[in-house]
């Protein structure tokens, strides 16, 4: 098994995942992660629209629990080599920074980037 990362990829060594029609651990955790991401996003919207303080407090507690579950699932998938990210070149990062740095003059209340 080759544990070397592909150029430009950020990931841990991959594990062997059987290619069968049945769902495996990676499939189940990936499904759980997608659900937690959706729930976290939905709770964030609900927090913005909560009209009662006790409702807001309860939603915030649930949101935090959901966010922690999402992070734990992501960390497990990343450590297992089931979640890949692409690294960006320094040149592209600098190019994007230069492109967006000029937008800071559009921030309200003089909130420019330092």
Q: Model's pTM, two decimal places?
A: 0.63
Would residue 113 count as lying in a domain? no
Would residue 103 count as lying in a domain? no
Q: Domain of 78? A: 24-84
Question: For 14-18, 59-63, 68-72, which range has the lowest pLDDT when averaged over its residues?
Answer: 14-18
Per-residue pLDDT, 3: 44
Give every CB contact of residue 24 below 8 A, 6+ residues apart in sequence.
17, 18
Torsion of CA 12, 17, 21, 25, to 10 degrees: -70
Domain count, the chain: 1
Taking only the tens place, the pLDDT of each residue in 38-64 is 999 999 999 999 999 999 999 999 999
Question: Mean pLDDT across the chain, nearest whole number?
Answer: 84
Would residue 89 count as lying in a domain? no
CA distances from 75 to 29, 94, 104, 105 (A): 11, 28, 33, 37
Would residue 78 count as lying in a domain? yes
């Amino acid at each position: 098994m080759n544990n070397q990362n592909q150029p430009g990829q950020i990931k841990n060594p991959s594990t062997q995942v059987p290619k069968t029609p049945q769902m495996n651990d990676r499939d189940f955790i990936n499904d759980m992660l997608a659900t937690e991401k959706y729930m976290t996003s939905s709770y964030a919207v609900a927090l913005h629209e909560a009209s009662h303080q006790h409702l807001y407090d309860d939603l915030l507690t649930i949101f935090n629990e959901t966010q922690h579950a999402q992070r734990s699932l992501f960390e497990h998938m990343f450590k297992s080599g089931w979640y890949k990210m692409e690294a960006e070149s320094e040149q592209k990062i600098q190019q994007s920074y230069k492109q967006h740095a000029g937008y800071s003059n559009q921030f309200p209340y003089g909130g420019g980037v330092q």
